[in-house]
Every structure is written in C-alpha cells, then in structure tokens.
Amino acid sequence: MTVLIIGGGAAGLMAAITAKRTDPAAEVVIAERLDRVGKKILATGNGRCNFSNINTKPVNYYGKRPSFVNNALKEFTVADTVNFFNGIGVFPREERDGRLYPYSLQASAVLDALRNECEKLEITVLSGKSVKEISVKKGSLRAVFENGERLRADSIILAAGGCASPALGSDGSGYEILKKLGHTITPLSPALVQVKTDTAPIKGLSGIKIEGTATLIKGEKVLDSDSGEILFTDYGLSGPPIFQLSAKMPFKKDIFIALDFMAEYSLRQVFDILEGRKKALDGMTMEYFFTGLLNKRLGNLISRAAGIEKLSFSVSALDKDLLWRLAGLIKEYKIKVTGLNGFKNAQVTAGGALTDEFSPYTMQSKFIKGLYCCGEILDIHGDCGGYNLQWAWSSGYIAGKNAVLSEQENYEKQQ
C-alpha cells in the first residue's frame, strides 16, 4: 500500500508518522513544494512553537461547521499530543493561559523531532516537489507534479495548508487541487493577523512591547477583549491579544482598540498611584514622572495626549484634573482601527475546504475514495494560543490512521 502526503507541514508530518506507525508495511511518501519540510513550524510561537494548549475545546474553533473538530479532538487529545511529543523527545513546558511549548523553547526542537521520527520510520520525503493536481481514473489516484511527473498512490492525504504566510510554503495551491476535484472552498480571509490603525496616536512607539489588555469597541459596545504582550509597529498593533481580536473584527467603520496599560489596577487605583508619585517626585519634571512605571516613550505620549505639551512641565504643577486625565488615558487609550494586514502576514486562513464534504471520523472525502484532507486546508481555524497546531496534530493523526485502512474498514467507520 502506498500513501502519498501532499505537504510536509505540521498536519502532513503527523499524518505520515501515524500512517507508518499504523501500518509499518505501507510505503509512506511526503511531497513538499519547498526545499525542506516544516518551514512554518520554525516560525511558530515567535520561534518557540506554541504547539498546543491544555484548555483546548471545540469552542476554540471556527468555520462553517466548527463541530467538525469534535471527533478529532476526542480521538487525539491534548494529552495524546503531549505523550506523542514526549515520545519523540520534546518535553513540554506550560506557560500563561495553558500554552504548551517545548521545554527548550525552540521551535526547531519540534521540527527536528518530527524529522528524526520520519527518518527512523523510513518515510520518503520528496522535497522541492509541488503537486498541481490529483487525477482520479477508474478509482485510481495519481498526483501530478508541476514538472509533469506522476505518482500513483492508494491513498492521498492533502495537507497543503491555506494561504497564510505563503513565504512559508502554503500558497493556496491545495484549494485549486480540491476545486478541480469538485470540492467546495468557502470564502477565504486572513485571520490571526496584525491590525492597521491610525498611526498618529502611536507615533514614536514602533518597536515597543507592553503587557496589557486590548479591548475591541464599536461605539459603546465592547466586542471582545484579550490580554498579553502587545507590540506597537509603524502601521499599527501586533502581538497575541491583537491577533486574537483580529479574528473577531467586523469590517465595519468606527472600530477602535482601547489599550489598558495597567490592567490589574482600577481607574481609582491608578489615580492613587499617580497622586503618590506626584508627592514622591516633587521638584522633578514630566520627563521622569512615568520612569519605572511605564515605558518612557509611552509615558511621554500619554503626557502629550493629556494636554501636557512640554516635558519640562513640573510634576508639582499636576492638579487633580490632570492626574485623572492621565489615569484615564493609562486605563483606556483609544486607537482607531483602519484595517488588517493581508495573507502575507497572517498566521492562519479563515475558510477553506467545506467540512460537510469530509468525514469527521476519517477525514476522507465524501466524493473521492482514498482522498483525505487535514490541517488548515479544511474550513477550520482556531484561536491564538496553540489551538491551530493542535488542530493540525489531531486532524493529521486521524487522516494518517485511516489512510492505511482498507476500503471496507473505512466504509464502516464513515457510517
């Protein structure tokens, strides 16, 4: 039996390893369009690879039919993922909000472990091989490569990813392959992506990272909120809480992000802190008022936004009104959203292969026997925080396990 996996990303590597472990006699081949497998894995989690999250639940996933994830997450759980990685040498480290990383905090460790396991299992890796279509003739499957070569396989697992970050391999070609086979692709849009904002209120802050809370607001309505590391850029905002909000951002006018720079304190408490500093720093100028409390550039910006034009302004001249204004800006610094960055910078794709056309128990196409899909190519995307890789592992596991089953066994499972 020959199983061909198209795409050597997270889902494809997991599918290949699972197929070979399930049926050691099977010939398992990965075709990867880039010069090496797993390039995107190296970029995940800021180079640290947030490979899962202990809080993973179906509610963390989106798509036309998010319940499609239920079976895969039950059959290959977060605990199974941790065991799997432990078994190939990746010891886990838990960080904030249940995010799991390799203990060494190196994404390369995750990729090395996966590649070593592929080598140990004698999985064939064909790199620099881009598949342009799958031909189905009399029930027999063949992958057709860009250079015209063909490869016959009993099962094909399409794990070509979506359109996010095409420089890391996923250029959307998987969708074209599926469309030619009659599958439906739901509308595609970038998700978990940086946000473009009015740059005037953040002028001079590019490159600064802060810990805070970002709240998405439209008019008086709070749409969503998330906390963590927020990065100021020359076009707007980035960082996990911003990615998270980007997925919930309606493309409407008058959307703002309000930043809270001292989220653990109430407005009253921030006012009291500032009043205490006024006493302690008597005789100094505004240039030093925020030193040790906020990033200096951010402090200067907040002073200006409160109407204090000159940094030579004396701290002792801060009246109650000004202190309240400063406290208010620290607790709610509003920035107008002007748009989202595109697929080039997005972490994931919202939309993809319509899941109604695949079995959630096997990941097999309901139209073409022997064709399986897993990972981001399917119309499923998750929250920021390790959920997308967990989907790649869980769905890759199911596809790999079922791709080596006989037609009859698969038929029975799909019923």
**Site residues, ligand FAD (CB under 6 A):** 6-12, 31-34, 40, 43-45, 49-50, 130-131, 159-161, 164-165, 168-170, 173-174, 347-348, 375-376, 386-389, 392
Residue number, 300 or 365, with CB nearest to ligand FAD: 365
Residue number, 271 or 358, with CB nearest to ligand FAD: 358
Distance CA 135, CA 142 (A): 5
Residue number, 227 or 395, with CB nearest to ligand FAD: 395
Q: Which residue is nearest to ligand FAD (CB)?
A: 9
Distance CA 99, CA 46 (A): 13
Write down the least CB distance from residue 131 to ligand FAD, Å: 4
Distance CA 197, CA 217 (A): 13
Tell me if 228 sits within 8 A of 239, measured CB to CB. yes
Distance CA 400, CA 405 (A): 9
Residue number, 144 or 293, with CB nearest to ligand FAD: 144
Distance CA 143, CA 261 (A): 53
Residue number, 299 or 386, with CB nearest to ligand FAD: 386
Distance CA 347, CA 41 (A): 11
DSSP-derived 3-state class of residue 192: coil
Tell me if 156 sits within 8 A of 145, measured CB to CB. no
Residue number, 260 or 376, with CB nearest to ligand FAD: 376
Buried b (16+ CB within 10 A) or exposed e, 135-148: ebeeeebebebeee
Copy the structure tokens of residue 414.
């799909």
Copy the structure tokens of residue 170.
């996923």
**In Å, how far are 111, 171, 341 from 164, measured between CA atoms?**
19, 8, 11
- By DSSP bridging, strand 209-218 and strand 255-260 are antiparallel
Residue number, 163 or 270, with CB nearest to ligand FAD: 163
Write down the least CB distance from residue 226 to ligand FAD, Å: 15
Write down the least CB distance from residue 388 to ligand FAD, Å: 3
Write down the least CB distance from residue 51 to ligand FAD, Å: 7
Residue number, 12 or 63, with CB nearest to ligand FAD: 12
Write down the least CB distance from residue 177 to ligand FAD, Å: 7
Write down the least CB distance from residue 193 to ligand FAD, Å: 10
Write down the least CB distance from residue 210 to ligand FAD, Å: 20
Tell me if 178 sits within 8 A of 25, measured CB to CB. no
Determine the Cα angle at 167 with ends 363 and 105, to 5°.
Answer: 80
Write down the least CB distance from residue 155 to ligand FAD, Å: 16
Residue number, 136 or 305, with CB nearest to ligand FAD: 136
Write down the least CB distance from residue 174 to ligand FAD, Å: 5
**In Å, how far are 39, 182, 343, 378, 379 from 354, measured between CA atoms?**
26, 11, 20, 7, 6
Number of Cα atoms under 13 Å in the Cβ half of residue 318: 30
